[in-house]
Amino acid sequence: MLRLNYLKQSPGLLFFIISLHEFTNPVCANNDPALLILTLSETISSDYHQDMKRHSDDGENLIGMTNTDQSLIDETVILTADYDIQIDDLTQAVNKNEKSPDVKLPTQESEQDVLAGSTAPGEPYIDQVLDELALKAPKFVIEEVEQPEGRRFLSTEYRLYEREINNKDSSFEHGAVVRWSRETIDYGTLRFDGQLKKQTGDLFPDDQNSFGEQLTLRQNDFALNNNWLMNNTIGDMRGTTNSMISSSYRFHLPSSLIRGADTLLYSEDAELQLTAGEIGNLQGIRTQSFESSGGSLWGLGYVQDFKENWTAGLQSWTVNADESIEDHTSIAAILQYKHPDKIDLYQLHSLVNDSDEWGLWLDGYNVLGRWRHHYGLFRFQPDLLWTDVSIANDRQGFYWRGDRISFRRNWSFGLEFEETNVEDDTNIAGQETTKAFSSVFWRLTRNTSVGGNLETILTRSGSGLGTNSSDEYSVRGFLNRRFQLGNARFQVERNEIHSGANPSESTEFIWDHQWNIPYLDQFNTSIGIEDINAAAGDAKRYSFGASYSHRFTPEVNLFGSISQIYSDQEMAGENNNTNIDLNLFWRPHRDWLINLSAIWSRNESDPEFAAGETVTDRSIFLSIQRIISEGVPATKYGARTGNKGTGRIIGRVFFDENRDGIWSPIEKVATGLAVYLDGRNTRQTDSEGRFEFWPVFTGKHAVYLAIEDVPLPWGMADDSSLKVQVYVREDTVINIPLIRLDR
């Protein structure tokens, strides 16, 4: 059935459009009103729905939520049962050039007559809803999308690695790798990574000629409530620290490899992390396994944003019974201020051990016009520890770096001072090192740019045992030029070291070129010549390298490289080193990928010297991988609320005979009605009057019923949208009662 929309306040406009269309369209010369309705209905209905969507794009200002939006909706009246016409009958009549069935056009009625569903004088009133089957599904559906399943990924791979040195010592490594991921609606994304390897041969120690494994199961973005999410990891992982605590412009705290469990709770302004496990390391060449070192590590971290631009955080790590480092507990802290416009950033870091060693470093960042400045102070006491990994301790100093960036010219300047042996221990040697550098890059034309840098390092003896002083100077200049045959870079570098122990100077020239040659996807070359004058003897060094890649077909790709380095030294003689690397990638099928890699190297030393010998190293790697990827990204419905997680909205539309707002089994339900969510998504009520939206962003939403599809005299007491609250993994149930407007 085709339902025609028109403006109740201007019914004469409809007949004017029909008359004009009848005058200008020869097809309607027979003055067939039904055909005119058929011709105009699509345009009018489309404009109506576009108008509805235009006033409902905002998730809060939805259809029916404001007086303005409601007035626009109230101005639309749907001609229902009395003016329904069969599209098929009209189409057949037009095709046969026959007169269309008689259609009774609407007459101008008052607003009260339309709302009351009254008829012409003398005609008895007929209730338009005597049976739920009388309700017709609306012709125009804004959206109907199948429920998403989430992306699924599975990769299985076999790896074979074989290495041989001097045609006698050999080793084999067999590996199996499985990667799997599954995107779910309620439980985040699940991932599994597993590696199993077997090593045999002369090149591996006896304790590694056995099976090994690496297994990790992860759950990411699991919503606990509207604000908090959780990441869980079990298996082999990095015991990581929040990047704000562990990283700065000048210094970085390392992470440890553990086998254990990790839980991360996070929201928009806070993060809580708990980690515990067994310390170890990774062993293997192409397939790696976890090997325990016998120690344990557990940590607790918390980061919180407060007062808009301020952030504070703490991280604690405790190491017990590890062979490589003594037992200890370390606590790192940060206090950060960040300007809303990102023009200022200040970080105060601290690190302390339970044995009273401590470290402190301050980082600052400012933007002043086109200049960006990084600067800071630092001090680390001796024997300062962090997890089971050594850090750069026993030092203090400051640094500054300034950068000016523009379209054609970039300048950089830097200065750094560092002193070791900060506690003046007479048993160790201390040094004072001052570094200064400057660089420039200048784009002369579109095809030409030049640049260079100057660096100075001055080393002096500090406290404690004396050391040798030295002055190092380095200057580098380059020219980039774009030619018809590709892009070239010419570089010249000069280095001088003034030291009483081993002074030297060297000059090096390098030419790198990216060739633009037809039928070659990528071909690069590099040529270098270096002349060295040193107290230990003069030397000359020549280098050449080339790399090539080509995609023969969409399924076959080849990559290869070769490098040759030749040197002649007074004290070591001639040395020749050659390396060749070839890689073939072949996808014989959409789900299969084969990788074959071969590496060959040869190092020839001068036999006239004691260390002179020739070493040949050859290795082959084969990978056969099957990849299965299916599913569609999970679509979340409703307006974005900024909250985390999803829930479900379910409900029923029914005819509330007794006006109590509660559906009872004896009351009829409304089928085929359109229900809107935030003006963005729509569902139709089924044969039992039910509808469902899932998954829906948690938080506040608005549900609106297409009241224009409800036959008179039924309607709603309040045509505005219904406000609902959606919670994580919970069902929000709403019932929409329809009441008689003529009572």
Q: Are 592 and 626 in contact (CB under 8 A)?
A: yes
Using CA atoms, how far apart are residues 197 and 161, in angstroms rounded to an integer?
11
SS3 of 139, please? coil
Work out whether strand 371-380 and strand 556-569 pair parallel, antiparallel, or are unpaired: unpaired
pLDDT for the residue 300: 97
pLDDT at 475 over 70: yes
pLDDT for the residue 87: 38
Domains and CATH numbers, the chain: 5-134 (no CATH), 646-740 (2.60.40.10)
Q: What is the pTM of this model?
A: 0.70
Using CA atoms, how far apart are residues 75 and 79, in angstroms rounded to an integer?
13
Contacts of 277-280 spanning 24+ positions with Cβ under 8 A: 277/237, 277/239, 279/319, 279/322, 279/388, 280/236
pLDDT digits (tens, 9 = 90+) for 11-62: 443 343 333 344 344 334 344 444 333 333 444 444 444 444 443 343 333 3
pLDDT at 712 over 60: yes
pLDDT for the residue 358: 95
Radius of gyration of the chain (CA): 38
First to last CA, the chain: 29
Using CA atoms, how far apart are residues 73 and 716, in angstroms rounded to an integer?
14
pLDDT for the residue 614: 87
pLDDT at 611 over 80: no
Q: What is the DSSP letter of 146?
A: P
Q: What is the DSSP letter of 29?
A: T
pLDDT at 73 over 50: no
For residue 152, list its beta bridge partners. 182, 630
Which one, of 38, 20, 22, lies nearest residue 30 by Cα?
22
**205 Cβ contact list (under 8 Å, min separation 6):** none
Q: What phi and psi, each to the nearest 5 degrees, are found at residue 15?
A: -70, -30
pLDDT for the residue 138: 40
Instruction: Summarize the confidence of residues 554-581 as an average pLDDT.
Output: 92
Which one, of 682, 670, 740, lies nearest residue 136 by Cα?
670
pLDDT for the residue 517: 85
pLDDT digits (tens, 9 = 90+) for 357-381: 999 999 999 999 889 999 999 999 9
pLDDT for the residue 351: 96
Tell me the residue ranges of DSSP E strands in 590-721.
592-605, 614-630, 646-655, 674-677, 681-684, 690-697, 699-705, 714-715
Which two three-digit tokens encode residue 474? Answer: 């380095």
Write down the mean pLDDT value for the chain.
80
Q: How far is CA 402 from CA 252, 364, 374, 430, 633, in A?
A: 20, 12, 6, 29, 44
Residue with tokens 């009057």: 689
Using CA atoms, how far apart are residues 491 and 480, in angstroms rounded to an integer?
9
Q: How many CB atoms lie within 10 A of CB 655?
A: 18
More confident residue, 707 or 233: 233
pLDDT at 605 over 80: yes
Using CA atoms, how far apart are residues 179 and 134, in angstroms rounded to an integer?
54
pLDDT at 410 over 50: yes
Q: Are 208 and 189 in contact (CB under 8 A)?
A: no
Residue with tokens 């090149």: 203
Lowest mean pLDDT among 112-116, 217-221, 271-275, 468-472: 112-116
More confident residue, 202 or 655: 655
pLDDT digits (tens, 9 = 90+) for 255-272: 999 999 999 999 989 999
Which one, of 484, 483, 460, 479, lies nearest residue 470 by Cα?
460
In terms of Cβ atoms closer than 10 Å to its own Cβ (0-12, 13-18, 19+), residue 32 is: buried
Question: Of the segments 191-195, 587-591, 657-661, which one has the largest average pLDDT value?
Answer: 191-195
pLDDT at 406 over 90: no
Using CA atoms, how far apart are residues 594 and 448, in angstroms rounded to an integer?
42
pLDDT digits (tens, 9 = 90+) for 116-152: 333 334 444 344 443 443 444 343 334 444 444 688 9
Using CA atoms, how far apart are residues 109 and 7, in angstroms rounded to an integer?
12
Using CA atoms, how far apart are residues 168 and 203, in angstroms rounded to an integer?
10
pLDDT for the residue 610: 61
pLDDT for the residue 539: 92
Farthest-apart Cα atoms in the chain, separation:
126
